Structure 1
């Protein structure tokens, strides 16, 4: 037995040695694979990174597969000859920088800080490669007033972005509109006696316009003192606007903060707007618009309309305004249409809105008119499915806080009121809200009480097909 045990022990030792020897050889063989692709290499060190091109290097070729992971190309307008002294016309340099950035994926047009750039009316057109960024970190402005405006340039618009997809307009800088001299043209409403106008040319440029473009982001900029609309979107789809600051004086005429028309799938978030006209205005052809976390002051509040001017058709649907703060404004949330129009406004929701010293906190005006010459007409834009929920705060007692003036012939229907509590900012409670041909439901009692809202539906209502939407 002793001999057998010694033989067994020797056999086990030899077997273990042979096994360990095999493992060592295997590990040695594994480490020799230094030429394997990085994804399969056990070496934890990262693969070498190509150095960034120095400024004198030519721009990378976007069609070269080797550049698929390269950093975005930055096209600083000063590298194309822009001076940025506030008086030199830098338009040509901006156009060259735009063309270069447009031609590469994720190109950046950089308007650098610590400069003031003046450019004339310009159309930045596409199509461009995806991911284009127009980044304003300095100050960008048009010529100073109508007397300095080139005669060959359009006086209806300044910066136009046309036929673009997947573009971002952003930066830490300022778009300065130099609007003061435009506001003082004789044709402007406050220039004539008793609020009338005087003869003279009246065209004034919208500051920024996006036209026939898709999948846009506009963020973080300060935009101020526009000659007319600060920002306009027309014929666009897929727009996200956030963290903007828009401002102009209270008496600056027609200076809407953000205007959209014929535009779908829009989000406007966490922005501050104080201006002389509508904070946000929603025109015809708009749907699926979400406005959230916006502060409005000085002007005319958040408006749907005006719609149906000159007997035109207007269709607006699925608009939500929530978590907004409106202060010191002539209107709160408003829907305004002209007599004689056709179409419909439906699926409108105003929720969680705080008012502070606002005239006409909640207003529907289907008799909108800018003069005393408007005549009564029978056709009207049909309003239905409008909800006011959790609307609270204070109002200016010069006007009733609730005013629903619907068409004589086409009633407003399905108006829902819930948790509406509006108290006078100063003076006594105005307890006579106005309603005309308005039907709906009160889920809770309102302050002030609104006894003029009619229950149910009108006895006669035109078929929805007749409204053309």
Structure 2
């Protein structure tokens, strides 16, 4: 047994996958189109494998049968290690079963590659140590799956990060609850009509790191108090991700899209009580970062500090492009639509004289309806002087506030369509090429 970052590394002997499996297609979709730079990119992730039936009980590895107690008090980490080794080395389809019960696990890394496309079935509950002092030092994550291609983590149980005693410790390096590293063709799913839950993480709940690709997240529930700091629901820094039919209620971004996020579709997400759906923050410490080809559709955002937000630091560079926010319902959201290129959470930043070199282009806001609850602008676009936002489209946005405050549109141009409430002013006229393109699509721009 190896030690990786003071976590237990569950690393079996590696070997090639031997199963032949059928493919489950992922819905194809296209993000907002634009003629300004290059043709719109179809966001069509490679189909994720569908796991065939297991060929007998010999391919199911129950953690109880391998020494787990499941009483919520006994350390069951070693039993999970045994089950992982057996399943990962099994030729043919294999399943690790976490049955009903509460299984206490210390920080653990489930290491691949494996011989097959594993199913990690969570019917019971997996819980972390409550006392931060019980955790090894230097840990950045509680549960990690590393280099496991074709993995499915599914079930109707929950993963409880026991973050309550971490949240007040601002100087602590708080761990992520569930992290995936270099996992291709990954599925994170509810099952049996129930959602798989991740709750009360000390820090971010789920992280899909760079080098993960072709990921499906469906029927997931993420829950922590609105007062829990930095508890992002799903943090993404990878490509070809499809998130659907899930709910997140937490103390920070429901979903945060970091550098390297590309070809991301978010559909039918219920986002509550936190900071909304965010691209960024990007460009911190003069970094060059890119996010592109993002589609957020059919989502519900309630009692949130923000609705849909793009946030960048003033000193960075890079690109945010081809982004679509469509059919978003908002209820009592403080700041519904935001582009902020002067992001500074602690108000002690260098604003670089407004000269950010991170370009934001081809962003569409359409069919956004609901209510906002503060005397702030419903639409706030504060873009770079040096690299203004271009090809911004706002159409059919109808938001009702308790008080109406003028919109902010600084250094931004594009198309202001019909059916806009409250009134949006200050959006500059887009290029002739851009406006001609929209006209052919039947979009009428009123700021021309």
Same fold, judged at TM 0.5 (above): yes
Instruction: Verify the 8 A CA contact 1:256 1:279 in the aligned structure 2.
Output: yes
CA distance in 1, matches of 2:296, 2:185: 21
> What residue number does 1:34 align with?
none
Task: Give yes or no for contact 2:413–2:429 (8 Å, CA) kept in 1.
Answer: yes
Distance in 2 (alpha carbons) for counterparts of 1:145 and 1:157:
15
TM-score (norm 2): 0.81
Q: Does residue 1:245 correspond to 2:221, yes or no?
A: yes
**Alignment match, 1:211:** 181
Q: Which structure's relative contact order is higher, taking Cα pairs within 8 Å and 6+ residues apart?
A: 2
Q: Deviations over 1:154-204 (max 9, x none)?
A: 43111000001100001111111111000121x2xxxxxxxxxxxxx3200
Deviating above 2 A after TM superposition, structure 1's stretches of 4 or more consecutive aligned residues are 62-65, 68-72, 370-373
Shift of 1:382: 0.5
SS at match of 2:335: coil
In structure 1, how many angstroms separate the alpha carbons of the residues matched to 2:351 and 2:314? 7
Deviation at 1:399, TM superposition (A): 1.8
Deviations, residues 261-298 of structure 1 (Å, cap 9, x unaligned) = 1x100000000100000000000011100000000000
State the shift of 1:250 in Å: 0.3
Query: TM-score scaled to structure 1, two decimals?
Result: 0.77
Q: Deviations over 1:47-101 (max 9, x none)?
A: xxxxxxxxxxxxxxx9899xx9833710001111111111111111101100111
Counterpart contact for 1:404–1:435, Cα < 8 Å:
yes
Q: How many residue pairs are counted as aligned between the two chains? A: 374
Higher-helix-fraction structure: 1
Q: What does residue 412 of structure 1 align with?
A: 389
CA contact (8 A) 1:384 1:413 kept: yes
- Whether 2:377 is the aligned partner of 1:391: answer no
> Structure 2: which 5+ residue stretches go unaligned?
1-16, 21-52, 191-195, 433-448
| RMSD, aligned α-carbons | 1.8
Contact 1:145 1:180 in 2 (8 A): no
* Whole-Å separation in 1 of the counterparts to 2:54 and 2:141: 38
Shift, 1:431, TM fit: 4.0
Query: What aligned pairs does 1:328-347 form with structure 2 within 5 A after superposition?
Result: 328-347=303-322
Q: For the Cα contact (< 8 Å) 2:61–2:95, is it kept in 1?
A: yes
Structure 2: distance between partners of 1:382 and 1:326: 27
Relative to its length, the structure with more strand (as a share) is 2
In the alignment, the residues of structure 1 paired with residue 414 and residue 425 of structure 2 have an alpha-carbon distance, to the nearest angstrom, of: 11
Question: Where does 1:366-385 land on structure 2 (aligned, <5 Å)?
Answer: 366-377=341-352, 378-385=355-362
Would you say the 8 A contact 1:145–1:179 is kept in 2? no
Larger radius of gyration: 1
Alpha carbons of structure 1 residues 388 and 168: separation in structure 2 relative to 1, 3 Å = same
**Which residue pairs with 1:56 in the alignment?**
none
Q: Which residue of 1 aligns with 2:99?
A: 112
1:126 aligned onto 2:112: yes
Distance change (3 Å), C-alpha of 1:136 and 1:380: same
Shift in Å, 1:141: 1.1
Q: Which ranges in structure 1 are unaligned for 5 or more consecutive residues?
A: 1-61, 188-200, 459-469
User: Which of 131, 142, 160 is 1:176 aligned to?
Assistant: 160
